[in-house]
């Protein structure tokens, strides 16, 4: 009789080469996944910054357009009073025909300090007593600091124009206003100093 033939054991598990190939593929997939997550985070941060910068651009355009309509003289030929301080200005501007009634409104922009130490740049617009009753609108919230400067001939006796931290002349407004905002560390918003020429025909 012939001896029974031995059966070869079936191959089970992975060889070393197959294991190394699997580990290499796993590492490659992990690397691609990490890069995708990083790119998504960067795009999200960029999107947030673009959104914040877009909001600031709207505010800057509003201030440019509004102050370009500063009223030179009223119906009696007098110049409306312009108040300029380091953190506040107020003047009479032509009303926005689409949203406001009347020919002119009083615009006031100033800094309001919050309990957490940050500053809001706020605005009120209106005519007469009701303008003070309307709640201020926040133009820019939670800034670190607000600074205003005024350019023009600040003194009647000295016609040489220059920059001033406050505007004391009552017979005429300044030629330019510089509006500067700083933001707390880590805040993505940026505000280059805004130079606004006041209305023509003053």
Three-state DSSP at 32 gives helix
Which is nearest to 56 in space by CA: 193, 189, 196, 198?
189
Number of domains in the chain: 1
Report which secondary-structure segment, H or E, holds 148: strand 145-152
Length of the chain: 202
Strand partners, 137: 123
User: Does residue 158 form part of some domain?
Assistant: yes
pTM of the model: 0.67
> Which 8-state DSSP code applies to residue 70?
B
Instruction: Show the domain range for 72.
Output: 62-86+141-197
pLDDT of res. 41: 67
The answer for residues whose C-beta is within 8 angstroms of residue 94's C-beta and 6 or more apart is: 69, 71, 103, 104, 105, 199
User: Does residue 188 form part of some domain?
Assistant: yes
User: Does residue 160 form part of some domain?
Assistant: yes
User: Does residue 192 form part of some domain?
Assistant: yes
User: Does residue 131 form part of some domain?
Assistant: no
Average pLDDT, 10 consecutive residues per value, the chain (202 residues): 55 73 87 79 56 79 89 67 92 76 83 94 75 74 94 78 89 91 92 86 41
Is 155:64 a contact under the CB 8 Å cutoff? no
Three-state DSSP at 133 gives helix
Q: Half-sphere exposure of 47 toward its Cβ, with a 13 Å CA cutoff?
A: 6
User: Does residue 175 form part of some domain?
Assistant: yes
pLDDT of res. 155: 72
pLDDT digits (tens, 9 = 90+) for 179-189: 999 999 989 89
pLDDT of res. 129: 47
pLDDT digits (tens, 9 = 90+) for 50-93: 455 678 999 999 999 888 888 766 656 677 788 999 999 998 88
User: Does residue 145 form part of some domain?
Assistant: yes
pLDDT of res. 108: 92
User: Does residue 112 form part of some domain?
Assistant: no
């Amino acid at each position: 009789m012939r001896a029974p033939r031995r059966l070869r054991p079936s191959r089970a598990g992975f060889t070393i080469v197959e294991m190394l190939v699997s580990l290499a593929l796993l590492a490659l997939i992990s690397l691609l996944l990490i890069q995708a997550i990083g790119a998504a985070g960067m795009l999200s941060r960029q999107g947030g910054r673009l959104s914040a910068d877009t909001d600031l651009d709207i505010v800057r355009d509003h201030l440019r357009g509004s102050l370009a309509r500063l009223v030179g003289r009223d119906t009696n030929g007098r110049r409306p009073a312009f108040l300029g301080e380091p953190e506040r200005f107020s003047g009479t501007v032509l009303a926005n025909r689409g949203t406001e009634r009347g020919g002119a409104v009083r615009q006031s922009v100033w800094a309001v300090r919050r309990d957490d130490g940050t500053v809001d740049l706020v605005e009120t617009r209106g005519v007469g007593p009701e303008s003070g009753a309307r709640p201020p609108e926040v133009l820019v919230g939670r800034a670190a600091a607000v600074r205003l400067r005024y350019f023009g001939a600040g003194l009647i006796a000295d016609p040489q124009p220059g920059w001033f931290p406050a505007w004391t002349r009552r017979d005429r407004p300044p030629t330019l206003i510089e509006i500067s905002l700083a933001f707390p560390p880590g805040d993505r918003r940026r505000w280059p100093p805004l130079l606004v020429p006041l209305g023509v025909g003053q």
